[in-house]
Structure 1
Amino acid sequence: MKVLVVDDDQTNLFIMAAIVRRLDDADPVTMTSPVKAIDWMRENEPDLVLLDQMMPDMDGIELLRRIRGDARLDEVPVVMVTANTAADVRMRALDLGCSDFLTKPIVVPEVQVRLRNLLALRHGRTLLRDRAALLAAEVERVTAALQRRGEDLVHRLSRAAEYRDPETGAHIERMALYSRLIAEAAGCGDDFAHDLQKAAPMHDIGKIGIPDMILLKPGQLTPEETRVMRRHTTIGHRILADSDIPLLRMAAEIALTHHEKFDGSGYPAGRIGNAIPLCGRIVAIADVFDALTSARPYKRPWTLTEARAFMIEQRGLHFDPALLDAFLSRWDDILSIHSTHADHPAQLCPMGT
């Protein structure tokens, strides 16, 4: 441990350095100039400072004030060595954060005990600080690992769903990008927008529980078949819910609520307005817009102008008005996503309603 000793008297420096060396695991750093001591402390952090109260150029009180003005040194013990027993001097030093006093002439055994105790206190505080930093780093590491696990699991489930869900991979990618764009435009924050992009592809994971005769039916579904198809929202929620991974919990909310409508006419629960989770309201916009503008064997793609007009018509009905406005405010980005991630003809396949 480094003990900085500042005294303009070489004899005092020699004595204090000798005392420090007799302590376990302590090395003295001696300086006769308070100014040089300040310069040294800009690059180094001592574990204890011993300073003389009476020095030229800068006295011990001013040096103490400078030390306590540096946030890095706020918890470093500082001991003032003084022959002045005046109460006002000691009160000023204590008010500035002085840890202890040594009165000249010093008594060596007393100095050793006091310094040993202060270094032990410093060592304990350093351990606590380091442990807190280690704990924070470990929490960050585990959180990051949990996030990676969630993203990997979402990716694998999305790949599995592709074998059952006739949506194209490009549709999944586009609607995820649209979802992130909406979140960013609405000021939801980077972390939320990132997680939403990762979770959005899971919106139709529940379709793995829908029979092929309904899921892959090329024509219009009957009312009963429609009821069965709509169960994909609750099936998806059951698959993803109650996870200890936050990303999967978000994906579960999306799966359950992305077919809800702002006016309450959606399914499965007929939620209204802000009763629909934010992630579900965002994905509803992204999913519908991309479905309208995508080519399918049973329909032509709507033009971007047609789709935009329809979305505006549904403002406050199907879609959250504020979120739809945020989406449309990024029209140039929408066009870029639509163009960059276009479907290839080989990707198109029949899908259910």
Structure 2
Amino acid sequence: MNSGLEERSVVLVVDDTPENLTVMGALLREDYRVKVAPNGERALRIARSDGPPDLILLDVMMPDMDGYEVCRRLKADPQTRDIPVIFLTARTEERDEQEGLALGAVDYVTKPVSPPLLLARVRNHLSLKQAADIIRDRNAHLEAEVARRTRDLQASQDATIVAMASLAETRDAETGNHIRRTQRFVRILAEALRDDPVHGPAHRDLLTDAFIELLHKSAPLHDIGKVGVPDAILLKPGRLTPDEFAVMKTHTTLGYEAIRKAEGLLGDADSSFLRLAREIAHTHQEKWDGSGYPQGLRGEAIPISGRLMAIADVYDALISRRVYKDAMSHEQAVRIIREGRDTHFDPALVDTFLTIHHRFAEIAAELAD
């Protein structure tokens, strides 16, 4: 009794001798659906059709296109490369068999064919193909499922960031477009630094597409700590007193701690998607010369995320109207950032900023308050 697999299986027999096609058809037809092809071109057309064979019995010695060339083309085509090929030939030299197997054939049967031997090999290779097809289908399903879950996870991460950033917007009405502008500024500055012919090589390994994408998504959380600053200070229309400014400065550590606690709920903080957001919140007020806060970090001790955010944040603060000041022009903002090179800002980032500052102006105009 033959299995359902064998009853459904299609075997293509390729041979330029009509008598051989007749004999092979008679041998196989009881157990399989049989298709025949008198030459290589016809065999390739059948293999690439909507009803391809499950296995091919392929004669080697044929005019115009021999079996080796047919096999070579089958294996080069993604549509047909997984169809098992068994060579049938009168050649008995070991090198002939080696050549056929090297081309991707699964077996090599010499003529005259022993019917029991051929049927056994056909049956075995069809069983192997079925197992391979099941594994391939299962892998494709798993890949699709992983892709779907990755998309779901990414959407969840994005929603988390947006929800947390929205907290800052509820406390300070002026930050709505500020966080959107600085998000764009950080991305284009990071991309420009990566591509900079002078400064780029030192940063290229870090500034991957994945890093920049995560940086872009994390940037809105740079001022999340302001939710912990009293309204009397956060919304004060005049200049802050030293004591008030000391309270304002705590927004960096407040933001850091809030994000760190959120990471604790997610598991490993070192691999958390919020790691960059934590860095940015904590270090975007640090200065290159060590005079910033909260830790007084200097130079490259400041994470690149914080250094990038510093320029984006200061530029936007300068060009924006606040309750305590009028907006500056783009030219004035560029001049102040240029003057802050090597003191407030990373000199490499200032150099890069000066090559693309017109793009900052374009974004500021597009997302004006």
TM-score bracket relative to the smaller structure: 0.7 to 0.9
Please state if 1:207 is matched with 2:226: yes
Please state if 1:118 is matched with 2:125: yes
Q: Which of 152, 159, 166 matches 1:145?
A: 152
Please show how residues 36-115 of structure 1 align to structure 2 within 5 Å.
Answer: 36-42=42-48, 46-70=53-77, 73-115=80-122
Instruction: List runs of 5+ in structure 2 lacking aligned partners.
Output: 1-8, 195-206
TM-score scaled by structure 2? 0.83
Range moving further from structure 2, 279-288 or 243-252: 243-252
The answer to which structure, 1 or 2, has the higher relative contact order (CA under 8 A, 6+ apart) is: 1
| In 1: Cα distance, 2:347 partner to 2:54 partner | 60
Match of 1:136 in 2: 143
Structure 1 stretches of at least 4 aligned residues deviating more than 6 Å after TM superposition: none
Q: 1:319 to 1:17 in 2, by over 3 A?
A: farther
SS of residue matched to 1:217: coil
Tell me how far 1:68 sits from its aligned partner: 3.4
Q: Contact between 1:183 and 1:189, CA under 8 Å: does it hold in 2?
A: no
| In 1: Cα distance, 2:282 partner to 2:29 partner | 70
Please state if 1:341 is matched with 2:367: yes
SS of residue matched to 2:91: coil
SS of residue matched to 2:325: coil
Tell me how far 1:309 sits from its aligned partner: 0.8
Instruction: List runs of 5+ in structure 1 lacking aligned partners.
Output: 344-353
| In 2: Cα distance, 1:72 partner to 1:277 partner | 49
Match of 1:29 in 2: 35
Tell me how far 1:189 sits from its aligned partner: 5.0
Match of 1:228 in 2: 247
Range moving further from structure 2, 31-40 or 295-304: 31-40
TM-score scaled by structure 1? 0.86
| In 2: Cα distance, 1:21 partner to 1:107 partner | 16
Q: 1:9 to 1:255 in 2, by over 3 A?
A: same
Identity of aligned residues (%): 45
**Matching residue's letter, 2:214:** D
| In 2: Cα distance, 1:191 partner to 1:184 partner | 11
1:80-139: CA deviation from partner (whole Å, max 9, x where unpaired): 112232223223223333321222232323222211111121222222222222222222
Please show how residues 272-351 of structure 1 align to structure 2 within 5 Å.
Answer: 272-343=298-369
| In 1: Cα distance, 2:342 partner to 2:151 partner | 38
Q: Which of 211, 217, 222 matches 1:198?
A: 217
Tell me how far 1:46 sits from its aligned partner: 4.4
Tell me how far 1:192 sits from its aligned partner: 3.8
1:275-296: CA deviation from partner (whole Å, max 9, x where unpaired): 3222222111111000011111
| In 1: Cα distance, 2:67 partner to 2:288 partner | 69
Q: Contact between 2:174 and 2:322, CA under 8 Å: does it hold in 1?
A: no
| In 2: Cα distance, 1:170 partner to 1:184 partner | 21
**Matching residue's letter, 2:17:** D
SS of residue matched to 2:121: helix
| In 2: Cα distance, 1:275 partner to 1:22 partner | 77
Please state if 1:8 is matched with 2:16: yes
Tell me how far 1:71 sits from its aligned partner: 5.2
The Cα RMSD (Å) is 2.5
SS of residue matched to 1:336: helix
Q: How many residues align?
A: 341
1:245-266: CA deviation from partner (whole Å, max 9, x where unpaired): 9543322221122112223322
Q: Contact between 2:238 and 2:323, CA under 8 Å: does it hold in 1?
A: no
Tell me how far 1:144 sits from its aligned partner: 1.3
Please show how residues 149-160 of structure 1 align to structure 2 within 5 Å.
Answer: 149-160=156-167
**Matching residue's letter, 2:40:** P
SS of residue matched to 1:98: coil
Q: 1:266 to 1:3 in 2, by over 3 A?
A: farther
**Matching residue's letter, 1:171:** H
Q: Contact between 1:147 and 1:247, CA under 8 Å: does it hold in 2?
A: no
1:129-161: CA deviation from partner (whole Å, max 9, x where unpaired): 222222222222111111111112222222222
| In 1: Cα distance, 2:228 partner to 2:30 partner | 76
Match of 1:219 in 2: 238
Q: Contact between 1:19 and 1:108, CA under 8 Å: does it hold in 2?
A: yes
Tell me how far 1:78 sits from its aligned partner: 1.6
Tell me how far 1:201 sits from its aligned partner: 1.3
Match of 1:239 in 2: 258
**Matching residue's letter, 1:88:** R
Match of 1:248 in 2: 274
Q: 1:122 to 1:36 in 2, by over 3 A?
A: same
Q: 1:126 to 1:336 in 2, by over 3 A?
A: same
Q: Contact between 1:183 and 1:192, CA under 8 Å: does it hold in 2?
A: no
| In 1: Cα distance, 2:298 partner to 2:22 partner | 80
